[in-house]
Amino acid sequence: MATVVKRTKTGCSNSEVGPLFTLVNDVAFNDTLEKRYFQFFKSKTVASTNSLIGANFWDRTVLQACHLEPAVKHAVLALSAWHQYSDHISESQHRDFADRQYQLALEKARELLGSANPGDIDKVLTACVVFICFESVRGNFKDSQLHMDNGRAIARQHADRLKQGHRRQDLVEIQQTLFRLDLPAVCFSDKSSPYHYTMEDFLATQPTLVPWEFQSIFEARDSLIDLSRWMLILGQTADAAFDAGDIVAIAEIHAEKEKCSQRLRLWYDFFELIAAKSDPSMQLLILNLRQWFHGCQAIGKAELMGPETRWDKVQDHFEVIINVSEEIVRRLAAMGDRGASFSYDIGYIIVVFLTATRCRDPFLRRRAIHILRVLPRQEGMWASVPAAAIAERHMQLEEEGLEYVRTKEDVPEWKRIHNIEVAVDVVRNLAMVDYSTKDELGNSHVREEEVRW
């Protein structure tokens, strides 16, 4: 059958008047190089970022903002260049371009803030999210945290506006993307720049902590994100209360944890109903949400403090996490060159790392490490290959000197690492890791290790 190519009034074929034609003639970009980086971001980075979480922020809000706000445009070009730099192709060229574009983005952001009116909150918060992502992936965690704090402050200041007006849903989408970034930051706090995040900070984001029946899988996603943030901040608060010996605070945190666990179970009941009716294209998101649910349940059921052997009683959740994560990786690997190895949003790495370090079953934790290593992937500040290296060294230290490790019970409490602190150098592929253990008297002992990948 012959292919029919229609001509427009300008004499161009319909195949020519498409995204590429529009891009080439887009006055928002100064030259061909900028256009190429934007096209890569649009076709690769956005698709990769949305491969699991599925968010309009990346494929609609950010792309539109690139044509309206120079600060966002230059920051996006920097993100695109860093994505390509991560693939080790012409590293110096990509990195130099990323640095130049980011400096331009910061200059334009200062101009935006100097002239912004209340109607520009979407531009300001969008730029803020992109800045957080860029600083995170290149390992500048202090600056990333500064942008995070500024973003939360702006969201608090304009809380009423975020709930009103005809653009409410767009603003809510931006806000939800900003708050999703709390998850990786709370889970990974570089010891050179600890992430200070209080319960007051969390509540100021006005989270939805009562999961009513959802109308879509995306509503289920947003509900689980808030519940996950709640569980993780409770864990962080519990550590501080335990170290301070505050018995009253510990009791209050325990009660809040039980409430959070109960609402997670309610969420799961609603989730399974909506998941059963969801489009097949949503399967990766459904798998990712199921994985996060079991991760939060494991944290809740294992208690927020106590001996490391407390994790042994949630092995059933670890088994589900591993099975689900293996299916996620299989599906992502099948995506091939669609850029599934890079994301600026959350994904599966955090929960698999939790399993690799807290599950002492020798077979499950090795499967977890394999998941992290088999598909090199970046998810914001979390990268799977460094995570695999740190988790493997964690396992080696715990099993070192033990004659047999066939079950979780073969790893005694005194051998188990109860805390990990890292300082990461993403350029040198190096992390300085402090692995902490406790003796029978409760005294901590720290072993510093240099981990490379």
Asked if 72 contacts 123 with a C-beta cutoff of 8 angstroms, the reply is: yes
Backbone angles phi, psi at 246, to 5 degrees: -85, 95
How far apart (Å, rounded) are the C-alpha atoms in residues 220 and 223?
5
pLDDT digits (tens, 9 = 90+) for 329-359: 999 988 875 546 888 888 999 999 999 999 9
For position 80, what pLDDT does the model report? 92
| Three-state secondary-structure class, residue 13 | strand
pLDDT level of residue 88 (50, 70, 90 thresholds) = low
pLDDT level of residue 4 (50, 70, 90 thresholds) = very low
**DSSP structure class, residue 4:** P
How far apart (Å, rounded) are the C-alpha atoms in residues 7 and 209?
55
Q: Residue 432's beta-bridge partner residues?
A: 423, 450
Asked if 346 contacts 353 with a C-beta cutoff of 8 angstroms, the reply is: no
Percentage of residues in the chain with pLDDT exceeding 70?
Answer: 89
For position 296, what pLDDT does the model report? 95
pLDDT digits (tens, 9 = 90+) for 412-430: 999 999 989 998 888 788 9
Dihedral (C-alpha) 419, 356, 281, 331: value to the nearest 10 degrees? 140
Percentage of residues in the chain with pLDDT exceeding 90?
Answer: 51
In angstroms, the Cα distances linking 291 to 103, 230, 268, 285, 334 are 38, 17, 11, 10, 19
Enter the pTM of the model: 0.88
pLDDT digits (tens, 9 = 90+) for 342-401: 888 889 999 999 999 999 999 999 999 999 999 999 898 899 999 999 999 999 999 999
Could you please report the per-residue DSSP string of 249-312? HHHHHHHHHHHHHHHHHHHHHHHHHHHHTS-GGGHHHHHHHHHHHHHHHHHHHT-SSS-GGGGG
For position 35, what pLDDT does the model report? 93
Asked if 253 contacts 238 with a C-beta cutoff of 8 angstroms, the reply is: yes
For position 198, what pLDDT does the model report? 82
Encoding tokens for residue 50?
A: 């949305």
Q: Residue 343's beta-bridge partner residues?
A: 379
pLDDT digits (tens, 9 = 90+) for 107-162: 999 999 888 787 788 899 999 999 999 998 888 888 998 999 899 888 888 776 65
Measured at the CA of 420, the angle between CA 223 and CA 386, to 5 degrees, comes to: 80
Reply yes or no on whether the pLDDT at 164 is more than 70: no
Asked if 391 contacts 356 with a C-beta cutoff of 8 angstroms, the reply is: yes
As a whole number, the mean pLDDT across the chain is: 86
For position 312, what pLDDT does the model report? 97
pLDDT digits (tens, 9 = 90+) for 279-325: 888 999 999 999 999 999 999 999 888 899 999 999 999 999 999 99
